[in-house]
Amino acid sequence: MSGSIKNKAAITPSYTRKSIARYQKVSVKRISLDFYVDEDMEIINKLNEVPNMSGYIKTLMWADIELNPNFEGLKGGSKNVRRYNKSDCKRVSILFNYGTESELIERISKHPTQIGYIRNLINSDINGVLPSAIA
């Protein structure tokens, strides 16, 4: 076989894909975040610097829980979704395991806008307010 494999699903047995999907449906929560080029360029650059975006964001969330353990959440908030072309957007998907990361799921669900919470965490790290997540 020459070159790289373009479609991994084609070589993964269907029973494996089904079992993974079944596990994820029961045990994992997926959160997708969209960062936009015109307003989040500094955040996009920071995310491109780190080797594991999801791990970086989770580390920031753990640091936030350590600094603010009794956070009650925010009331209200803007839920206006602006429409962009896909080329203007960088999407980051984070998988949270219900068993080991339930605190993170609870923390992010207390915020009216998940993307606003993550933006604040990354901006806090960029500005040096949170302990750096990159070792």
Tens-place pLDDT, residues 85-103: 666 788 888 889 988 888 8
**Residues in a beta bridge with 36:** 89
CA distance 73 to 107: 8
Which residue has 């915020």 as its token pair? 111
Residues of the chain with pLDDT below 50 are 1-3, 77, 134-135
CA distance 135 to 15: 38
CA distance 67 to 56: 17
pLDDT at 135: 41
pLDDT at 70: 79
